[in-house]
Amino acid sequence: MRAIESSSFPVCEYLVNKGAKVTHENCAGIEPLSVAAEFADPRIYHLINEKVNAITGGNNKKGGAKKKPAAAAKKPSRSGKKSAADDAVN
pLDDT digits (tens, 9 = 90+) for 48-90: 999 999 988 876 555 444 444 444 444 554 555 555 555 555 5
Alpha-carbon span 8 to 14, nearest angstrom: 10
Decide if 79 is inside a domain: no
Q: Is the pLDDT of residue 44 over 90?
A: yes
Rg (CA), the chain: 13
Q: Per the structure, how many domains does the chain have? A: 1
At residue 55, the pLDDT reads 86
Average pLDDT, the chain: 76
Is residue 52 within 8 A of residue 19, CB to CB? The reply is: no
Decide if 83 is inside a domain: no
Structural domain of 68: 2-73
Decide if 26 is inside a domain: yes
